[in-house]
Amino acid sequence: MQYRASGEGTTVLVYPEAKQPPAGLFAFTVSSDGNAAIEFEHQGDRYALVDALRGASAVVVHSPAGTKEKASCGSNQTLQVNYTLRLMHESGIW
């Protein structure tokens, strides 16, 4: 599993750089309000790919300089789907 971000048609971040199993690199959480998130740390920043049960999904970056939303991704709720939950469990990140 890899996280990839691009800007203006150019890839700006790939984590991890080499493809490898996600266990130990990513964390998957489901909160009591139904939101789901995949989190990872890269170069001192903590990334959270948040999929809100009600509302827009977002990429949130927690850095030593403060927390900011990098991108709003629309409402797709893909992290709450039972199939996705099973994949996260089987891959060892949840």
Question: Model confidence over 3-39: pLDDT tens digits?
Answer: 888 778 888 889 999 988 888 999 988 888 888 888 9
- What pLDDT does residue 6 have? 79
pTM (whole model) above 0.85 = no
- 49 by DSSP, 3-state: which? strand
Tell me what the mean pLDDT of segment 66-94 comes to. 67
Token pair of 65, please?
């300089």
**Does 75 score more than 60 pLDDT?**
no
User: Residue 62: pLDDT band by 50, 70, 90 thresholds?
Assistant: confident
Q: What is the CATH number of domain 22-90?
A: 2.20.220
Q: Where are the domains of the chain?
A: 22-90
Question: Model confidence over 45-55: pLDDT tens digits?
Answer: 899 988 887 77
